[in-house]
Amino acid sequence: MKILVCISKTPDTTAKIAFTDNNTKFDTNGVQWIINPYDEWYALVRAIELKEADAATSIHLVTVGGADAEPIIRKALALGGDEAIRVNADSHDSFFIASQIAAIAKQGAYDLIMAGKETIDYNGSSIGGMVAELLDLPFISLATKLDVASNQATLVCEIEGGEETCEASLPLVVSCQKGMAEARIPNMRGIMAARTKPLKVAEPVAADVLTTVAGFGLPPAKAGVKLVDSENVGELVRLLHEEAKAI
């Protein structure tokens, strides 16, 4: 079984969020970049676990972005990907990105395509579903468990107020979230090996851009906390009931 894992570069979870160019661009000044946590901890690490359990033969990684995405891809290779493909294009919108990933997936004839449930920057939750549609494949969204045996995947995924267990034949697209795998960090051997693993650069296929960012903004700051004395908890309940009308 060949797995393709979709990797996105995102600002670190503690990065300061600010904008430039009249609020039309994210201010990358001083920002540390990481692998999108959902892509890394859940999709990629579960793929590695499947390979370690001999359920998968190879793990390829795909990202859409400029050369500045390469350190992130190398880190993903250090964790345990076998080779990577970078589609050399700006990540315009989710449909454009999904079109690029679908083209790579078609060429590589992968059995399983895994993505994080969303990126922590655009929070679109769109890539998995779009790739599945472009390839006419079944799509399991928000999966928390994934096992594969003899061309059949068994999954657990989130539903409102619970979870369901389902099965589907490969090929399949899965979006992954918490529960699927435990986070790991690359070891020295992995980091050394990643230096010589193949990182191919592919030119983008023609694809439409359906949406554009007109501008960004920051939410209004909170007015400040109203502290209530710990001996007077009844006052908090009164405030929540009468002032905030929240209970």
State in angstroms the smallest separation of the CB of 137 from another protein. Answer: 8
C-beta of 180 vs 199, nearer to another protein:
180
C-beta of 33 vs 139, nearer to another protein:
139
Q: Contact 181/51 with Cβ under 8 angstroms?
A: no
C-beta of 88 vs 144, nearer to another protein:
144
| 3-class DSSP state of 2 | strand
Can you tell me the distance from the alpha carbon of 39 to that of 45, in angstroms, rounded to the nearest whole number?
Answer: 9
State in angstroms the smallest separation of the CB of 10 from another protein. Answer: 9
State in angstroms the smallest separation of the CB of 6 from another protein. Answer: 13
Peptide bond connecting 171 to the previous residue in cis, omega within 30 degrees of 0: yes
**Residue reference for tokens 């990933």:** 101
C-beta of 1 vs 174, nearer to another protein:
174
C-beta of 62 vs 199, nearer to another protein:
62
State in angstroms the smallest separation of the CB of 34 from another protein. Answer: 11
C-beta of 38 vs 110, nearer to another protein:
38
Q: Which residues pair with 176 in a beta bridge?
A: 116, 143
**Closest by CA position to 127, among listed 184, 163, 87:** 87
Can you tell me the distance from the alpha carbon of 189 to that of 174, in angstroms, rounded to the nearest whole number?
Answer: 29
DSSP characters over 39-75: IIIIIIHHHHHHHHTTS-SEEEEEEES-GGGHHHHHH
C-beta of 149 vs 166, nearer to another protein:
166
Can you tell me the distance from the alpha carbon of 61 to that of 76, in angstroms, rounded to the nearest whole number?
Answer: 8
State in angstroms the smallest separation of the CB of 122 from another protein. Answer: 6
Query: What phi and psi values does residue 200 have, to the nearest 5 degrees?
Result: -90, 150
Q: Contact 85/62 with Cβ under 8 angstroms?
A: yes
State in angstroms the smallest separation of the CB of 96 from another protein. Answer: 11
State in angstroms the smallest separation of the CB of 163 from another protein. Answer: 5
| 3-class DSSP state of 118 | coil
